[in-house]
Amino acid sequence: MPAPSLTSRRALPTPSPLLAAALLVGGCGAEPEETSAAALRLRFPEHADVVLSAREAFAPTEGGFRLAATEPGGAWMRAARPEVELPRDGSGAIRFRLADGGEIRVRELGAEGEGAMAERAVSYRRAGGTSFWTATDGGVEEWLLLEEGVARAGEVVAAWEVEGAQLRERGAAVELVDEARGAPVLRVTAPRAYAASGRPVAVALRARGARVELSINAGGEAVLVDPAWEPAGRRIDELRRNHTATLLLQSGNVLLAGGIARLGSLASAELYDPAGDTWSPVSQTMLAARYNHTATWLESGEVLVLGGQRDNLNAPSVEPVDTVELYDPETDTWTPRAAMATSRADHTATLLLDGKVLVTGGRAGVRTLSSAELYDPMTDTWTSAAPMNDARSIHAAVLLPRSGKVLAAGGVVRGVSGTSAELYDPETDTWTPTGALPGGDWFPIVLAQLPDGEVLAVGTLGAARYNPTAGTWSPTGPMIGLRQLPSATTLHNGMVLVAGEPYAASGSASYRSVELYDPETDAWTETAPTNGLHNYHSATRLLSGDVLLVGDAEYAERYSIVGLKCTSDDECGRGACVDGVCCESRCSEPCHTCAMPSSLGRCVLQPKGLDTRGDCAREGCDGSCDGLGACVAVPKGGMCAPAQCRDQTHSMAQVLCPADGASCAGSSSDAREVEDCAPYDCDQVSGTCKVECSSWQDCARGHACDFSGRCVPAPPAEVRGCNAGPAAAAAGGSRAGLGAALLALLAVAQRSASAFRGRFPRRRRDS
């Protein structure tokens, strides 16, 4: 944040006679209670209860203030809250202790002084205002009360140094990523901000190295904003399973519909926005609660949901569903469509090349079906299609794009796990048996298309490939872990991601394991495990190429393709293939460029000799890879390292990239130019020397802030006319003495006067 110039220093008003008298009465120990609950209630009375009256309070401890961890639960299910311990002194580290034993330490720059209980919150003094930490169901919120003149022009007003995790921007949030697994564990957002006048306030969070930075543009008004620190899991209304997840190609969002939860089948639906990594409920529920149904994206952009079953866990009956409904993303509404001829669940629905939808098999109660139906979205009509050769349910079907035929395989056939497969030809309305699946258990079964036109089948006891030309199946190489309820998702690079609960007999050591199938080498390799166990889940490939996993867990997860090997941009979704690895974007400058696969796609420039995580050098740049998946370029004149306070009164200058292709030398503390800030302090947020003051906290030791906003030498104790006892020393006798107390009282009086004038404007006198 650039330091304000001396010419822009805001003038402090001359104290009134009444205020002067108050200052004299107040004496040396007078100091405003900036960290008190009363101060917050005075400034933001409409929002104070949210900050100060949380359902749970921090518990004072010998080392600070503790908030216990929680288990997942409540009306809005989410990941368990970690244990949080606030420091006794604001300059100390906030500690987030995770369920797996890990710990993340966060140090707020500019916070200082002993923390105090403010009703059910904990407050600290900080540069430019006060911070109030309060508990939420899923984590903690830090409400920042920033004084007038602090939040202006989108400047950085607060920053936090993070240890024990890497930082990654994800939409409007910043994720704290586990360094070993590459999975997000905490998420920082700033969803709410209030200016004193009530007008909207623009807020932005950014990740810069190991620092989270908050920028606000409130036009210089006082502002209340709430950085929230919560688990990276998503907020969901139910532990949903046996649902559908459909990619909406126009927007890139994902529609999650129906499913079953603890209290029975669901009619709720919600939308996932990958760009912002956010979930929002659909404006209305579905017309029928259902699970084990299908959802098919149509060429119109709408989603056709049909069949399934509904039940109530308080009643013994399970009813099949014949109803059909259509979701319109443009209006965010559901409308009924013509019902099927047969009620069915555990069926398949496949979009054909002519835009019609083929529905096959399934079950009606205990009866397995061989019937098939065709739906025409243009006319909203159903017609009978030729029945399958085998009645089957919980099977799989996939369109073969080169022939336009549909392959149906596996599932439950005549009451047992089936190995048969057959082809449907829409032109002749006929089913033809094709090669049988190799020996094994193919209930349940999932199918995934491969780039060469073949189809990969994954079942309980193995995997096989189908060759449409020969009409035959052949086993693949051995899988690493056999799975009871797998999902198989083809990535942009042609590899197939397989996830799901491992089969009990497979001997898999991890119930969170995930593996990749490479069609070129016919080999399976392990990849990063999931954070939770996803059973009866959905797996959806996003436009970015990432894969979204949802189901039977309190949070959703995304598998990132960044860092996977590639030969062309087409294999990286919306990203780019650079140096044989998928990156989120293509570098445009030689400084900071993508590197080898070991770097996972991002190269952050560091001084020569600090490259400890892989050689990212390219075109003269010395670099170190952080593995967070974005490709960042620093052009000539760009910032390699921000200004930073070395101590209370010394600032280390920022380091700029000297030339295109050059390394950012001189970024280490020993090599950087140091400026003495006296008589002012160093601004712990911007890292630069302050040039004006509004309280004694802005001045170097031995100086006080005068009424013109300048730091001047404090008068000796005998001149102050007060005996410096412990209270006076604690209030600033060592730094500002009477000058600090006078200015503090003046600030309180001026703020009170401003608040009074805002609520009761002076009436205009008639001349």
Q: Please state the three-class secondary structure of 370-415 as a single string.
A: CCEEEEECCCCEEEEECCCCCCEECCEEEEECCCCEEEEECCEECC
pLDDT confidence tier of residue 35, bands split at 50, 70 and 90: low
Stronger pLDDT, 306 or 641, i.e. the higher one: 306
Q: How far apart are CA 284 and CA 305, in angstroms?
A: 15
How does pLDDT run across 446-504, given as a tens digit for each residue? 999 999 999 999 998 889 999 999 999 999 999 988 888 899 999 999 999 999 877 65
Residue 509: pLDDT above 60? no
Tell me if residue 18 falls in helix, strand or coil: helix
Residue 571 C-beta-side C-alpha neighbours within 13 Å: 18
Lowest mean pLDDT among 654-668, 709-723, 731-745: 731-745
Beta carbons within 8 Å of 342's beta carbon, 6+ residues apart = 322, 364, 369, 371, 373
Q: How are the residues of the chain apportioned to helix, strand and coil, as percentages rounded to the nearest 5? A: 10, 40, 55
pLDDT more than 90, % of the chain: 40
Evaluate whether 585 touches 630 at the Cβ level (below 8 Å): yes
* 3 state SS for 232-294: CCCCECCCCECCEEEECCCCCCEEEECCEECCEECCCEEEEECCCCEEEECCCCCCCCCECCE
Q: What is the pLDDT of residue 443?
A: 78
Q: What is the pLDDT of residue 766?
A: 42
Residue with tokens 């996993």: 549
Q: What element of type H or E holds 641?
A: strand 639-641
Q: What is the pLDDT of residue 5?
A: 35
Lowest mean pLDDT among 151-160, 625-634, 708-717: 625-634
pLDDT confidence tier of residue 26, bands split at 50, 70 and 90: very low
How does pLDDT run across 566-580, given as a tens digit for each residue? 888 888 888 778 777
Lowest mean pLDDT among 33-47, 303-317, 624-638: 624-638
Residue 46: pLDDT above 50? yes
pLDDT confidence tier of residue 107, bands split at 50, 70 and 90: very high
Stronger pLDDT, 674 or 610, i.e. the higher one: 674
Q: What is the pLDDT of residue 262?
A: 73
How does pLDDT run across 323-353, given as a tens digit for each residue? 999 999 999 999 999 999 999 999 999 999 9
Cα–Cα nearest to 563, from 476, 510, 619, 495: 495
Residue 216: pLDDT above 80? yes
Stronger pLDDT, 27 or 423, i.e. the higher one: 423
Q: What is the pLDDT of residue 238?
A: 59
CA distances from 642 to 153, 396, 439, 683 (A): 19, 55, 63, 13
